[in-house]
Structure 1
């Protein structure tokens, strides 16, 4: 495990450094001031933010899947990402201050999660995976419909809103990076310390309660803790989906793990995944930049289908 983490950390570091020198601009043809501006003011915050975003999304996916005992649960399939994007778009068209955007996204995302859980509880007391996913996807579709209405109402803001619809890291800054990284680190530490409780929750509510876990208190607190970092990140980047499903499930496909090692590996692989995908997106048809959310969907959907197929094979008698 430790060797795996060290090698993965070195690979992430290599990817981060390489990404700084890959792009549409030819650095050898620039002056020293232009070179420094591109490297330190544009690429460095974007590359670092890509790593934080990937870690936050993968980390939250692990927690959702353990607590809800649903391998397809993450911020996208539960409707939270769509709600967060809608909250950010509402902040844009109402010209609210920048610092209010994360708060709107968090409120909208947690409200969406509450609606999904309450609706699933009313329809299916067992919280079966298909019930949660169907309700989450439908709620997300409804949120997307509201977002399209906002585009029609405020056509002059279409370009800004489209950035949230497709998921772009082009607006990354050191302020956004510091805020998101701090919250992701704090949430990660809390979740890591709660590893035993999460392992017990994965066994079922009755068994967890019998072993000392206050299920009714722990579950909502951990869900909220895992929700805040990705919702903050999505409030600045827009829709980046499926990372929280694909990364943890691909790790588990090769080797079953307890929560703590799974959390660490998922965060590292998530960071590496988004850094690589974002770098490819901004260079493959340069100077045109493909939004990060689009690149993630193109690469993650085949993996998502593969995981669903393997899950169906396992569930067959």
Structure 2
């Protein structure tokens, strides 16, 4: 596992370095002050933020899937990402300060999670994966509808809101990076220390309770802790979906892991994935930049369908 972690860390460094050196601007044709500005003020915070966001999304997906016993649970399929985007768009259209944006996203995302869980409990006390996903997707669609209404009401903010709808890492800054990185690190440490409880929850509520886990208390705390990093990241970037499903499920498809190693490996793969996807999106048809959220959808949907197909085959056996 240490070797795997070391290799992934090296790949992240190499991918990040490569991403710094390529783009629409040719660094060899610029003077010293110009390329330093591009590298250190534009590309470096974007690459680092991509790594942090990818780690946050993948990390939260691992926890959601274990706590809710749902391999397709993610901030997107639970409607939280759409709610976070709506919260950020509301903050932008009302001209609120930048630091308020993550607060709006967190509150909106947690409210969406609460609505999904309460509605699923009323319809299906077993919390079957199909019920959670259907309610989450429907709630997300409703949130998107409200977002379109905001676009109609505030047409002068259409460009800013469109950025949230498509998910873009452009405009990344060190302030945004530090806030998201600190929250991701702190929440990651808390989740890592809760590894035993999560491994027991993976065995089922009854068994976890019999082995000393206060399920009713631990479950909401773990969900809230895992929700904060991706919601904060999405509040600045907009809709970037499915990373929390694709990364951990692809890892588990090849090798079952306990929670702690799965959390670390998923975070590293998530960081590498977003760096690569974002780099391709901003360079493939440069100077036009394809939003990161669009690139993730294009690459992740085929993998998502593959995982659902494999899951259906297993359930039929």
Q: In which range does the TM-score fall when normalised by the shorter chain?
A: over 0.9
Deviations 1:47-87 (A, max 9, x none): 00000000000000000000000000000000000000000
1:171 Cα offset (Å): 1.4
Consecutive unaligned residues of structure 2, counting only runs of 5 or more, are none
Aligned residues: 317
Cα pair 1:124 1:131 within 8 Å, conserved: yes
For 2:130 and 2:57, locate their aligned partners in 1 and report how far apart those are by CA, in whole Å: 21
For 1:284 and 1:16, locate their aligned partners in 2 and report how far apart those are by CA, in whole Å: 16
What residue is the counterpart of 1:225 in the other structure?
Answer: 225
Alignment of 1:144-163 (within 5 A): 144-163=144-163
1:245 Cα offset (Å): 0.1
For 2:98 and 2:183, locate their aligned partners in 1 and report how far apart those are by CA, in whole Å: 17
What residue is the counterpart of 1:3 in the other structure?
Answer: 3
For 1:90 and 1:135, locate their aligned partners in 2 and report how far apart those are by CA, in whole Å: 23
What residue is the counterpart of 2:80 in the other structure?
Answer: 80
For 2:102 and 2:8, locate their aligned partners in 1 and report how far apart those are by CA, in whole Å: 30
| Secondary structure in structure 2 of the residue aligned to 1:188 | helix
What residue is the counterpart of 1:257 in the other structure?
Answer: 257
What residue is the counterpart of 2:97 in the other structure?
Answer: 97
1:232 Cα offset (Å): 0.2
Deviations 1:79-113 (A, max 9, x none): 00000000000001100111100000000000000
What residue is the counterpart of 2:36 in the other structure?
Answer: 36
What residue is the counterpart of 2:66 in the other structure?
Answer: 66
What residue is the counterpart of 2:124 in the other structure?
Answer: 124
1:286 Cα offset (Å): 0.2
For 2:124 and 2:259, locate their aligned partners in 1 and report how far apart those are by CA, in whole Å: 26
For 2:8 and 2:51, locate their aligned partners in 1 and report how far apart those are by CA, in whole Å: 13
Alignment of 1:90-239 (within 5 A): 90-239=90-239
For 1:179 and 1:70, locate their aligned partners in 2 and report how far apart those are by CA, in whole Å: 29
For 2:189 and 2:97, locate their aligned partners in 1 and report how far apart those are by CA, in whole Å: 30
What residue is the counterpart of 1:53 in the other structure?
Answer: 53
1:31 Cα offset (Å): 1.1
| Secondary structure in structure 1 of the residue aligned to 2:11 | helix
For 1:95 and 1:9, locate their aligned partners in 2 and report how far apart those are by CA, in whole Å: 39
Deviating 4+ runs (over 6 angstroms): none
For 2:171 and 2:226, locate their aligned partners in 1 and report how far apart those are by CA, in whole Å: 24
For 2:10 and 2:220, locate their aligned partners in 1 and report how far apart those are by CA, in whole Å: 35
For 1:59 and 1:65, locate their aligned partners in 2 and report how far apart those are by CA, in whole Å: 10
Consecutive unaligned residues of structure 1, counting only runs of 5 or more, are none
Deviations 1:17-73 (A, max 9, x none): 111001010001111111110000000000000000000000000000000000000
Cα pair 1:171 1:236 within 8 Å, conserved: no
1:275 counterpart = 2:258: no
1:199 Cα offset (Å): 0.4
1:298 counterpart = 2:303: no
What's the Cα RMSD here?
0.4
For 1:99 and 1:179, locate their aligned partners in 2 and report how far apart those are by CA, in whole Å: 10
For 2:297 and 2:237, locate their aligned partners in 1 and report how far apart those are by CA, in whole Å: 14
For 2:151 and 2:270, locate their aligned partners in 1 and report how far apart those are by CA, in whole Å: 31
